[in-house]
Structure 1
Amino acid sequence: MTCEALVARFADPFGDLGQRSIILIHAAQHYMCFLQFDISDDHLLDFEIGSPRNFIHVTSTHWFDLSSRSRREQVVQNLSCITQWAIL
C-alpha cells in the first residue's frame, strides 16, 4: 500500500492538485478500510537521495465489515467525504 501511495504522490510531485495526502482503499474478502498517507515534499526529496530523514504519516480507519448494513452506510459516508475533499 505504501508503494502505491508513493507512486501516486510521485505522479504529482509538487502537489499541483493541492494535495499532499493520498487516500487508498484496502479491501480483503468482505472487509475494507481507508488509509491516508501524508507524504511531504521533504520526504520525496529524501527518497531520491536514498537516505530518508522524514517519515510518511499514515492514518487508517478500522476494518468495515461489508456484510453489515450499518458498516456499508459508513463506507458510503467515507466515500462521500473523500469525494468532497478531492473536489476542494
Structure 2
Amino acid sequence: MEDQLLRSSFSAAANYRAACKAQSYKAFVAKLSIAFEEIDESLFWLETIKDLKLIPEEKLELIVKEADELTRILASSRKTSQTQKS
C-alpha cells in the first residue's frame, strides 16, 4: 500500500512538472490529466490508510486535506483547459 502511495504521489508531481513544460497544448492537457488521475489515486490510498486506522487520523488530516485540494485544483484546471480549446 505504501509503495503504491509513493508511486502515485511521485507520478502526480512528475506529470504536473511535465505539463508545465509541455511543448504543445495537447501534451499539456494529457500530462495534466495524468497528474489529476495520480493525485486522485494518492488521495484514495490516504483515505484507505485512514479508514483502516493504519496511521492515527490526526497525523493524516492535513495531508488528506491537501491531496483533496490538489485533486480539485487539477480537475478544475483540466476542465478549463479542455473547454477553452473546444
The bucket for the TM-score relative to the shorter chain is 0.3 to 0.5
Largest Rg, 1 or 2:
1
Q: Could you say which structure has the higher strand fraction?
A: 1
Q: Could you say which structure has the higher helix fraction?
A: 2
Q: TM-score, normalised by structure 1?
A: 0.33
- By relative contact order (CA 8 Å, sep 6+), the higher-ranking structure is 2
Q: TM-score, normalised by structure 2?
A: 0.34
